[in-house]
Chain A
Amino acid sequence: MTALDDDPGGPLLVTPAGTTVVWTDAILASADRLGALQVALHLDLRRVNAADHLGGVSMHSVIPPLEQARALCADAADKMRLVAEQYSSAEQLNEDLQRQLAAMMATALGEVLPLFAALVILNPLPLGVLAVGGWLALPDDGEGRLATLRDWMLAHPQLVTSPEFVRFVSLLATSIDDGARGATGVPFWLSPLFSSDDNGVASGALTVATLGGVFGMFHESDVVVERVRLETPASAPTGARDLLDRVPEVNQVRIETYEAPGMPTRYAVYIGPTETFSPFATTEPWDMTSNVYGVAGLSPGSLRAVEDAMVDAGIRSGDEVQVVGFSQGGLIATMVAASPDWNVVGAATYGAPAGNISLPDGVAGIAVRNTDDFIPALAGPQLDHHLVQIEREAFAGDTAPPTGIAAPAHQRFSYEATADAIDEAQSQAIRSQLSELERFGDGYVENGGSITVSTYHAVRVN
């Protein structure tokens, strides 16, 4: 794990809950302050008008300068809102056009795939020579050519660490199903007719799972979960960074039980990130199989493990639950929050590929993504807007991402820096959600209660 000495991240981008308008935290905070000042000046004007109606001294000279100051604030706040709305609309239009074009291209590519396969089958020798020749042309420094490729990728992290690459991945995620349709003979110009609620992300992931299954990949299995530790911490979490810091690794699930006399028992469930990136399932449920199954909307092993742990911790369907997760943990946290089996009232996710999952009303919290982290883009664009969406470029401007680390913008240290920036945010949209998340565990220890932490480890069986 690498700590970042100086924060290389860009400004926070905020999409308040229930909207699709993207603001920077600075502009949103300015609009908040302007709004508050305008309201205060409006109240001042009401007092002045009330004084005027009493008779006595005339207030006619007082009203114009006050009204001018109020109007100036209102005008500036309106202009900020307009700029944010216009930027968001233009960006959305641009993305929609790119997505339609990508879908048509994928369908067209899918159409020629059978021809390509036939070419390979009918002319195996020249294509085989070409492939082997290309492979042998790679230098071998003693660890094999695959290691050469890996090392080259690690030395050039900027290739996969940019908002442009993230957009490419997002377009790819929503185009896989179009490619599959093209392969079955659907003409490319018909692809816009096959739109779905999630832009085909789930069916694309299902396609990947199915095709991978042909080669023995993405094999789901049963899971067993075991409580490995029980302890009592001192306090409930405060802030975005503290929430992230409590997300476990290795032992994949942490459940905090909040109990106090006269207060409802509540539970905070923290879910860890992917532990292995092999597409071949072993004993680790926090793997690529769970990622693909999760994005496909199926029942990944890690989700079943979390739900088993929740039952073991004594959580019943009506109990108030807050879920927190990083990476795959964020995906599973979102799936738990979306499930009618649980009463999730708060959620915080970091770098979660979960944009295609619809949450119910009544869930407070934040969904955090680095805009140069391609992992969340594997679930396509963010479609659900129940949570406040917070984005930030982890390596902004001229800052080069660190070498020797796979997907640096997805690493925990990058999200720690973003979480620190969130804790410093000034906009009401962010501050109010952080307050909601903090309130969840407030007062339990102070009222003579306790917080108990259970840590769980899950493995695949079969």
Chain B
Amino acid sequence: MPATLLTGVTSLADTPSLRATLEQQFALLKPVLDHLRHAALEPSPMLSEDWRGPAAESAAIFTRELQTKIGAAESVIDDTLRSLSAQIAYLL
């Protein structure tokens, strides 16, 4: 299968070159996913027994929002990495 069909965005001529590019992309993205997974498990940056009243509520809202956004980023990157893995495997 031509490389252009696999990526959908490039017109790289030869398969080894495309595979090398995809591997580079994978190598760049993998630490990002690791970091986001680690960040998702970490306690909230706002975690504190000293927050009281409205501040505690704001901190809780912020924490949920941050977790949602980190989760969304993690999910998209995970999908992208799976796609990259599949394409690299296909080009082997």
Tell me the complex Cα distance, A358–B3, Å: 70
Contact of A61 with B21 in the complex, beta carbons under 8 Å = no
Q: Are A69 and B66 in contact (CB under 8 A)?
A: yes
Q: Are B69 and A65 in contact (CB under 8 A)?
A: yes
Counting chain A CB atoms within 10 Å of each CB, the highest count among B62, B69, B76 belongs to B69
User: What 1/0 mask marks residues of chain B from 46 to 88 whose CB sits below 8 Å from any chain A CB?
Assistant: 1111110000000100100110011011001100100110010
Q: Which of A22-30, A214-222, A338-346 sits within the interface? A: A22-30
Closest to A40 in B: B35
A59 to B21, CA, bound (A): 13
Instruction: Contact check, A24 vs B50: say whether CB atoms are below 8 A apart.
Output: yes
Which residues on the B side are within 8 Å of A72 (C-beta)? Answer: 62, 65-66, 69
Of B12, B21, B39, B51, the contact of A40 (CB 8 Å cutoff): B39
**Residue numbers in B under 8 Å from A59 (CB-CB):** 25, 80
- Given A54-B25, A62-B80, also A76-B62 (CB < 8 A): yes
- On whether the beta carbons of B25 and A51 are closer than 8 Å, the reply is yes
Contact digits for A50-72, partner B, Cβ 8 Å, 1 yes 0 no: 11001111110110011011001
**Given known contacts A37-B39, A62-B77, A69-B69, A54 and B62 CB-to-CB distance under 8 angstroms:** no
With contacts A44-B36, A65-B69, A65-B72 known, is A26 near B9, CB below 8 A? no
Question: Which of the residues A40, A56, A68 comes within 8 Å of B18, measured between beta carbons?
Answer: A56
Q: Which residues does chain A contribute within 8 Å of B59, judged by CB atoms? A: 30
- Which residues on A sit within 8 Å (CB–CB) of B45? 30, 33-34, 37, 73, 76
Given the complex of chains A and B, what is the CA–CA distance between A54 and B27 in angstroms? 12
A12 → chain B closest CB, angstroms:
9
B12 to chain A, nearest CB (A): 7
Q: Is A48 an interface residue (CB 8 A)?
A: yes
B38 CB to nearest A CB, Å: 9
- CB pair A58 B32 closer than 8 Å: no
How far is the CB of A258 from the nearest CB of chain B, in Å?
Answer: 37
**Chain A interface mostly:** helix
Q: Judging by beta carbons under 8 Å apart, are A26 and B48 in contact? A: yes
Tell me the A67-117 residues at the B interface (CB within 8 Å): 68-69, 72-73, 76
Q: Inside 8 A of B83's CB, which chain A residues have their CB?
A: 57
Would you give the shortest CB distance from B2 to chain A, in whole angstroms? 15
Docked-complex contact A50 and B80, CB < 8 angstroms: no
Residues facing A in B1-32 (CB within 8 A) are: 7-10, 12, 18, 21-22, 24-25, 28-29, 31-32
Q: A73 to B62: give the CA distance in the assembly, Å.
A: 9
**Inside 8 A of A66's CB, which chain B residues have their CB?**
32, 73, 77
| A443 CB–B CB distance under 8 Å | no
> Given that A40-B39, A51-B28, A57-B87 are known contacts, is A73 also in contact with B10, CB under 8 Å in the complex?
no
Cα–Cα, bound, A65→B66 (Å): 10
Q: Is the CB of B24 within 8 A of A51?
A: yes
Contact of A48 among B22, B28, B49, B51 (CB under 8 A): B28
In the A-B complex, the 9 residue pairs with the smallest Cβ-Cβ separation, listed nearest first, are A33-B45, A26-B50, A65-B73, A69-B69, A26-B48, A51-B28, A56-B21, A65-B72, A51-B25
Interface residue ranges, B against A (CB under 8 Å): 7-10, 12, 18, 21-22, 24-25, 28-29, 31-32, 35-36, 39, 45-51, 59, 62, 65-66, 69-70, 72-73, 76-77, 80, 83-84, 87
Q: List 9 A-B contacts (CB under 8 A).
A: A24-B50, A26-B49, A34-B46, A48-B29, A57-B25, A58-B8, A68-B72, A69-B66, A72-B66
